[in-house]
Amino acid sequence: MGHVYGQPPDRSRRAFMRHSAALSGTLWAGSGALLALAPGKGWTLELGQLDAHAGRTLLIATRHIFPHPKLDDAVYALVVKDLDEAAADSAVRDLLAAGVAGLDHAAGGDWLALGSDEQLALLRLGDGQPFFEKVRATAVVSLYNNELAFAHFGYEGEAFSKGGYLNRGFNDLNWLPAPDQDASPSV
């Protein structure tokens, strides 16, 4: 199977996939908003389809595609979770396998072992290709559509159960003058 990273080495899919595997980490000390939501500092993502190397590679690839230096790996892991679930479809599993193997091949063995700039330079070669686009299109939804990301970026999400924002700051901005009453009547 040819692709932009060149021919991957002959590596059986069974060796690559289908291992019981997990990604884990510890919430960063600076992730205050996330620490408030989490039961503890440690996090673990059980993988059903991908092995730990593929999971870690996809996590770091997503960090390059949507770089938020202050956003914890725990949130990026949610993208890996969705990719892992999508990989229950064998076509997706093959696409991700070939993509990860291709990055490693292009890196001369282990893409994760490269420096950040070299990682990005190789990853970029696949921009617009199916593997890259699968990761990007999954991430643009998964990375930003969860409570951890909401807390990190300062979005408050669901509002109805809290009575909306009428009494919770919909017009609390005070660094500009208040508009005229005619333009914006009081509540």
Which residue from 9, 39, 117, 160 is in contact with another protein, where contact means CB under 8 A? 160
Closest CA to 96 of 57, 151, 125, 38: 57
The answer to whether residue 154 forms part of the interface with another protein (CB under 8 A) is yes
Least distance to another protein, CB of residue 6, Å: 22
The footprint of another protein on this chain (CB under 8 A) covers a number of residues equal to 44
Residue labelled with tokens 């960063």:
28
Residue 169, CB-side half-sphere exposure with 13 Å CA sphere: 6
x/- letters, 38..67, toward another protein (CB under 8 A): ---------------------------xxx
Question: What is the residue type of 9?
Answer: P
C-beta closer to another protein: residue 2 or 115: 115
Which alpha helices (H) appear in 17-164, and where do they start and end? 32-37, 52-65, 73-86, 90-106, 116-124, 130-142, 147-153
Which residue's CB is nearer to another protein, number 33 or number 52? 33
Q: Which residue has the tokens 């692709």?
A: 3
Shortest Å distance, C-beta 153 to another protein: 4
The pair of structure tokens assigned to 187 is: 């509540």
d(CA 72, CA 23): 14
Q: Should residue 70 be labelled a site residue for another protein when binding is judged by CB under 8 A? A: yes
One residue of 6, 42, 109, 157 binding another protein per CB under 8 A: 157
Q: Which residues of this chain interact with another protein, rule CB under 8 A?
A: 65-68, 70, 127, 136, 140-141, 143-145, 149-150, 153-161, 163-166, 168-173, 175-179, 182-187
